[in-house]
Amino acid sequence: MAGTACFIIVSKNDIPIYEAEVGSAAKKEEASQQHQFILHAALDIVEDLAWTTNAMFLKAVDKFNDLSVSVYVTAGHTRFMLLHDSRNEDGIKSFFQEVQELYIKILLNPLYLPSARIASSHFDTKVRALARKYL
Amino acid sequence: MAPLVPKTGDAIFASIDRVNAELFTLTYGAMVRQLLTDLEEVDVVNKQLDQMGYNIGARLIDEFLAKSNVSRCVDFKETADVIAKVGLKMFLGVTASVSNWDPEGSSFSLVLDDNPLVDFVELPDTFQGLHYCNILSGVIRGALEMVSMKTEITWIRDMLHGDDAYELRVKLLKQIPEEYPYKDDE
């Protein structure tokens, strides 16, 4: 189980459309802001790396102290980014794939505008449950 | 001898041309989304969906009567059964159940457990008053009006608002007698 984990979905226009702290450690205000900063700083690296490979799952793209950033890029260039301190790569890959299924269902909702914030509490609950299961 | 009146719409549904369900659902969704963008007010969109449904129903009734060979309904109860079992099955591919008849027999509830129009849809908070399937109420109203029944249709339960099924209340206001379109003595 990851102690700290921060999960962000960034759309192709570089707008964050969803963020969640999914770690099991106690949340500290400064830490969560720092997590978001690290994830956004990693976006440039992701951008370069995404075009070099045709795999969707880019493993650890960046490291900060003992935290590493893993990224999954979807076909529509939406990036799922996870900041974590665990070593469980397969678990993270499965987590990303399940989140992608949920994300596709959100996209199919005709009342959802692309690149808008994901406000569905249903999605939020499911993502947190998946995080507890895989991370 | 006249062909047998169908008890369910299954046979007709199997014999007519069909379209991919997801295409249908996504097209309807895109249309509702565009209406929301153009009209902005949820109440206006509801009315517009109802009006569109009315126009569809007025034309749909002819195709329904042509394809399904039902005979003239004896009373309103039979009308309700025909709509639920034959009509909805033929055009949407789902059957509904009829329930909650009021004592005079002039209004009933149509309950749909499954509705292909709303696959994948989740209502965001800004559109909470939207009756997403309002086109259905318009279709039924338009179709019945073309066969001389003036009705009023309201939504009782809606799954997008958290209920467990879709329930439409259909109330017969009056039967309009057939009118000649021209006067004989002129």
pLDDT (tens digit per residue) in B120-177: 888 887 888 888 888 999 999 998 888 888 888 988 888 888 788 888 888 888 888 7
Among B112, B119, B128, smallest CA distance to B165 is for B112
Taking 50 as the pLDDT cut, the residues of chain A under it are: 1
Considering only the beta carbons, identify the residue of B26, B119, B123 that sits closest to A111: B123
Cα separation of B72 and B176, whole Å? 15
- Chain-centre distance of CA B111, in angstroms? 12
Place of tokens 């505008």: A113
Q: Is-contact B90 B16, C-beta < 8 A?
A: yes
Q: Is-contact B63 B12, C-beta < 8 A?
A: no
B30 and chain A: CB distance < 8 Å anywhere? Answer: yes
CB contact under 8 A, B33 and A110: yes
Kindly state the percentage of chain B with pLDDT values over 70: 94
Q: How far apart are the first and last CA of chain A?
A: 5
Cα separation of B166 and B157, whole Å? 5
Name B57's Cβ contacts closer than 8 Å, sequence gap at least 6: B138, B139, B140, B141, B142, B143, B144, B145, B146
Q: Is-contact A130 A95, C-beta < 8 A?
A: yes
pLDDT at residue B55 is higher than 90: yes
Burial A50-59 (b: 16+ CB within 10 A, else e): beeeeebebe
Q: What is the arithmetic mean of pLDDT over B31-60?
A: 91
Cα separation of A44 and A47, whole Å? 5
| Backbone CA torsion sign across A35, A41, A44, A49 | negative
pLDDT at residue B7 is higher than 70: no
Segment among A24-28, A44-48, B60-64, B76-80 with least mean pLDDT: A24-28
Kindly state the percentage of chain B with pLDDT values over 90: 15
Q: What pLDDT score does B80 carry?
A: 85
Cα separation of A132 and B47, whole Å? 45
Q: What pLDDT score does A26 carry?
A: 58
pLDDT digits (tens, 9 = 90+) for A42-52: 888 888 888 88
Confidence grade of residue B184 (pLDDT, cut at 50, 70, 90): low
User: Hey, what are B123's tokens?
Assistant: 């209502």
Q: Nearest-CA distance from B68 to chain A in Å?
A: 33
Q: What pLDDT score does A33 carry?
A: 80
Q: What pLDDT score does B3 carry?
A: 46
Residue type, A134: Y
Q: What pLDDT score does A20 carry?
A: 86
B26 and chain A: CB distance < 8 Å anywhere? Answer: yes
Q: What pLDDT score does A2 carry?
A: 55
B35 and chain A: CB distance < 8 Å anywhere? Answer: no
Q: Nearest-CA distance from A68 to chain B in Å?
A: 34
ipTM higher than 0.95? no
pLDDT at residue B5 is higher than 80: no
CB contact under 8 A, A111 and B125: no
A52 and chain B: CB distance < 8 Å anywhere? Answer: no
Q: Is-contact B150 B179, C-beta < 8 A?
A: no
